[in-house]
Structure 1
Amino acid sequence: MNGPITRDALQAVPSRWDSDEDDVLICCQVRQETHDVKSFLFRPRSPGLIRFLPGQFLTLELEVDGETVNRCYTISSPPTRPDTLSITVKRVPGGKVSNWLHDHLAPGMSLRALGPNGDFSCALHPAGKYLFLSGGSGITPLMSMSRSFHDLGEDRDVVFVHSARTPTDIIFRRELGLLAANQPHFRTAFVCEGRGGEAEWAAPTGYLDLQLLARIAPDFGEREVFCCGPAPYMAAVRALLTEGGFDMARYHEESFSFADLPSDPAEEDSTSAGVTTCETVGFSVEFSKSGHTVACAPGQKVLEAARVAGLRLPSSCAKGMCGTCKSRLVSGEVHMEHGGGIRQREIDQGYILPCCSTPLSDLVIER
């Protein structure tokens, strides 16, 4: 609940939290999961139940060093605990947002959030048996799914295989043991690159390969697979599953890769100021802050046209879900098919997502 636990508070039925109506979340707790991973718990500033599918993500809007930055983080808590939600963040060396969260975000502080969004969820792919594969902080959406099964008393047939650097880097290690103890059909397996300081560690060391996966889950070919982790990890998983003859139609993955892209295309060496032409006649797109103008072919998205011209705009999902590329449309008209990464009031204020916007006229964008 969002206050003292009283009889009246328990009997009250809060409305559903809607980020379009009130996008402020209050940090109510910070938990140290490993030496470089923290979980941040949030609640709405007014009583509200947070509804989402296990595995979905939230887009945070943060003020870091005087700059508004958007980042997507998968929700690690389950929807069965709707008064709060949590994200679990690994500190990335040099990472602007992860370091700010670890060093500054504390209980009582507030931030803006958009969502939840995303279609990486076991709820959308019901199956008799699941195989969860995660690497590092990619464990978070699969933990949300696992917690959901546990809270609902659904003893699903799940094999959860997590890869980490060392045993001390296994996020939610003790809780996964509890989930396995409470559910006979929920099994965990850990694969660590090395033992670290745990000389008695008896689980496999090295990297997950087809032979090891076949030992852990001999029936992996019969399971619905959900995978999340760093890009090289997921590429390796795809390769080993393909080698093992797995039907990739039952493979699902999720990841967000946020490079620290410059906010001003003029910072790039690859493009000089002026007009970049395109062979196909379309519409012009002027970026008012940088002074660049690019040609956008018929049916081409603004972000794609900018990239073809050598410009780098802040972006991540490229699917209209995360809101990273949000920009103000100074003039012109677009057709935008977004996936939840922008609020209606922001659209009413003249903002667009270039990644999913197709020009219907010449445009001027504040970038």
Structure 2
Amino acid sequence: MSITEAPTAAAAAPGRLVDPRFAKRLVLINGAVPAALLAWDAAHHQLGANEVNFAIRTTGMVGLVLLVLSLLVTPLRRLTGWNQLIAIRRNLGVLGFSYLVMHFTIFWIFDREGSVTSTLHEIVMREYLWFGTAALLLLIPLAATSTDRMVARLGAGRWKLLHRLAYPIAIAGVVHYYLLVKSDVRQPFAFAVVVGGLLAYRVVRHYLDLRGEVRTARARLAGARALTPQRRRKFWSGELEVARIFGETRDVKTFRLVAPGGGPLPFDHLAGQYLNLALVIDGARVNRSYTIASSPTRADYCEITVKRAAEGRGSRHLHDAVREGSVLRVSAPAGRFVFAHEQAKRCVLVAGGVGITPLMATVRSLTDRCWPGEIYLLFSIRTLADFIFREELAHLEARFPNLHVRVTLTGDPETPWDGPRGQISRAMIDSFVPDLGRGPILLCGPDAMMAAMRRLFVDELGVPDAEVLQEAFVSPPSTVS
């Protein structure tokens, strides 16, 4: 919810033509119609003189049509702006796979009389079956990884790379159809034209996306250079003193670091970057990386906000052994998870748990500098006890009308809460962010959450991939002194 006021009932998303859940059900119902009609006609012996051949060709044709329709969804979405079309793509693909499985099953059981040997011999002897079998085999991993859980397990990048197999599968299906019909090739040719057009669109779109990514990278670099003062070193290694320690929640503390002799920090940093600590724990040197949670505009100090992890040597040492006045060995800054879109009209920040820290640095920096764009922060926490920066976010939201904060609880069902509950969803985003036009989207949280959010923004809501940034850094390796 908004920290300063309870949310109203979620309104329908602007520009939505149809509810995605209804669209999915409609596709599934209509997709089942050809199978139902085929079963009815088979039961009443109305499939013609060669019933098996008719059933094989019908299921193959329907499967190929559904597969091509699933490939049409993304171009139509981008050309028309109807982002809700993406809701039916998975259903079309799964239906197409189901019909092609029926296509092969009918061939195996009724044409080859269930004989594995005869089926394999036929596949080896017929060229058109080479392509059809290859297409079906390649479809299996796509169907097996079509769930949200598999997207999270594979990661958005690997999942998208795997599902690009849909294009060679479609080509193999068209070749299979062409070699099968032999004489009248008008229908296979029509399929070839459509698939060829989709491939051409894909190539052109990929080229344009690459150009857009280059422009975005150049703008980000220029913005970073413009934001970085030149009076201090860009990278520095030395000692900082712990001036204050603030308790944020039951297991999260903020450590304010200053120069031991006073004065400004000896290095520059950008909102979202991190620093490296060289800690000495039980005689061993342990290197850890922590996001700088404070704004770069606060030149006299920097802060790290650390959650105590039961298995985390570094975080346990900071919580249990470090005191105000302690001196830490620091090297900073590092990282490219930064806001450098000064000309954007809005930015969307999505955080999960302690992943709020780099995004809090961004919020603090943008509000300190009175950035004129709209700032939307979506924050997912498990319980109210895990709500980091609650008072500060409420204070900033009250002072800056362009800052909008919504918090959702994923657990803690017994605690009274007026805001949304559950994982961040498309409906939650639709009701919170009125315009997902050009502007950065920054994600930070658990890996599974970031994979799901990237898929949601890029694949379902049509945000260009280059506009979605996510935090990803690892601590340097530990060494023993």
Answer whether TM exceeds 0.5 for this pair.
yes
**Among 452, 464, 471, the residue aligned to 1:236:** 452
**Which string of whole-angstrom CA distances, capped at 9 and with x for unpartnered residues, describes residues 168-202 of structure 1?**
21110111111111111110000111345631x11
Q: Which runs of 4+ in 1 moved over 6 A?
A: none
Q: Distance in 1 between matches of 2:429 and 2:275?
A: 31
Q: Which residue of 2 aligns with 1:219?
A: 435
Amino acid corresponding to residue 30 of structure 1 in structure 2: I
Q: Secondary structure at the match of 2:385?
A: helix
Asked if 1:252 corresponds to 2:469, the answer is yes
Q: Distance in 1 between matches of 2:286 and 2:465?
A: 35
**Among 349, 357, 375, the residue aligned to 1:132:** 349
Work out the number of aligned pairs and report it.
248
Amino acid corresponding to residue 394 of structure 2 in structure 1: G
Percent identity between matched residues is 36
156 and 178 in structure 1: CA distance in 2 versus 1, 3 angstrom threshold: farther
Larger C-alpha radius of gyration, 1 or 2?
A: 2
1:111-122 mapped onto 2 (5 Å cutoff): 111-122=328-339
Q: Which residue of 2 aligns with 1:308?
A: none
- Relative to its length, the structure with more helix (as a share) is 2
**Which string of whole-angstrom CA distances, capped at 9 and with x for unpartnered residues, describes residues 37-87 of structure 1?**
100001011334232111111011101121111111110000111111100
Amino acid corresponding to residue 436 of structure 2 in structure 1: F
Q: Which residue of 2 aligns with 1:190?
A: 407
Q: Which residue of 1 aligns with 2:280?
A: 63
The worse-fitting range, judged by mean Cα deviation, of 45-54 and 136-145 is 45-54
Q: Which residue of 1 aligns with 2:242?
A: 27
1:259-338 mapped onto 2 (5 Å cutoff): 316=474, 324-325=476-477
**How big is the shift at 1:250?**
0.4
Q: Distance in 2 between matches of 1:185 and 1:84?
A: 26
113 and 126 in structure 1: CA distance in 2 versus 1, 3 angstrom threshold: farther
Asked if 1:106 corresponds to 2:313, the answer is no
**How big is the shift at 1:255?**
2.9
**Among 331, 347, 364, the residue aligned to 1:147:** 364
Q: Secondary structure at the match of 1:134?
A: strand
Q: Provide structure 2 residue ranges, at least 5 long, that are not aligned to the other structure.
A: 1-230
Q: Which residue of 1 aligns with 2:31?
A: none
Amino acid corresponding to residue 373 of structure 2 in structure 1: R
Q: Which residue of 1 aligns with 2:426?
A: 210
The worse-fitting range, judged by mean Cα deviation, of 121-130 and 65-74 is 121-130
Amino acid corresponding to residue 359 of structure 2 in structure 1: L
1:79-98 mapped onto 2 (5 Å cutoff): 79-98=296-315
Amino acid corresponding to residue 352 of structure 2 in structure 1: G
**Which string of whole-angstrom CA distances, capped at 9 and with x for unpartnered residues, describes residues 137-162 of structure 1?**
11111111111122223343100000
Contact 1:164–1:191 (8 Å) recurs in 2: yes
Contact 1:229–1:255 (8 Å) recurs in 2: no
Report the TM-score, using the length of structure 2 for normalisation: 0.49
Amino acid corresponding to residue 32 of structure 1 in structure 2: G
Q: Secondary structure at the match of 1:141?
A: helix
Asked if 1:77 corresponds to 2:294, the answer is yes
Contact 1:16–1:49 (8 Å) recurs in 2: no
Amino acid corresponding to residue 28 of structure 1 in structure 2: A
Contact 2:377–2:406 (8 Å) recurs in 1: yes
Q: Which residue of 2 aligns with 1:52?
A: 269
Q: Distance in 2 between matches of 1:135 and 1:65?
A: 32
Report the TM-score, using the length of structure 1 for normalisation: 0.63
Q: Provide structure 1 residue ranges, at least 5 long, that are not aligned to the other structure.
A: 1-14, 257-315, 317-321, 328-365
CA RMSD of aligned residues (A): 2.2
**How big is the shift at 1:92?**
1.1
Amino acid corresponding to residue 384 of structure 2 in structure 1: P
